[in-house]
Amino acid sequence: MSYEIRDSFWTFKNKVKIIYIFTLLGIVFWIAAIFLAPYLKSLSSPINKIIYYSFSKICHQAESRCFYIFGNQMAVCSRCLGIYIGFLAGTVYYPLIRGFGILSLPKHKTFFLATVPIGIDTLGNFFFLWNTAGWLRLILGFIWGIVLPFYFITGIADFFLNLNFHNKKQ
């Protein structure tokens, strides 16, 4: 997937920028909620239960695999936290590395190389071959998470650009 930029250069570029901004705001909000849950719990605010419950649908939240802050367990495990922080880092670096004028996926090799370490670690833990420390789970999650925005932003932009293209054809 690669787009040739012609007369609609600014329109194309602006659409990618808008998707980027919404992605950046979304991941900042997401990470803020992860840190907000234990803080609200330390204040005995009932809102913490909503946040923990929401994250329980996407993370196991096992006590032994979570970091603690404000005297309480975080809303996600260390691996998930690493993925989200990595996603934020990748999103921040996206315009510096990719820019907004080119829309193409990174090489498959990039995704494969980022996936292998977290995949091996996850399988090793799943089959009880080893139990990885939280800091290493965080690092492996970060490595995987940092490449994801380059696929996510490209995929969402591609979807909306194709949607716009098909609507103009009709």
Domain boundaries, the chain: 9-164
Half-sphere CA count of 49, side-chain side, radius 13 A: 3
Distances (CA, A) of 6 to 3, 12, 84: 9, 9, 35
Closest CA to 57 of 75, 30, 31: 75
Q: What is the pLDDT of residues 14-48, one digit of tens each?
A: 889 999 999 999 999 999 999 999 999 999 999 99
Q: What is the pLDDT of residues 105-157, one digit of tens each?
A: 999 999 999 999 999 999 999 999 999 999 999 999 999 999 999 999 999 99
Query: Which tokens go with 163?
Result: 């949607």
Closest CA to 38 of 5, 63, 9, 15: 63
| Burial class of residue 136 in the structure, from the number of CB atoms within 10 Å of its CB (0-12 exposed, 13-18 middle, 19+ buried) | middle
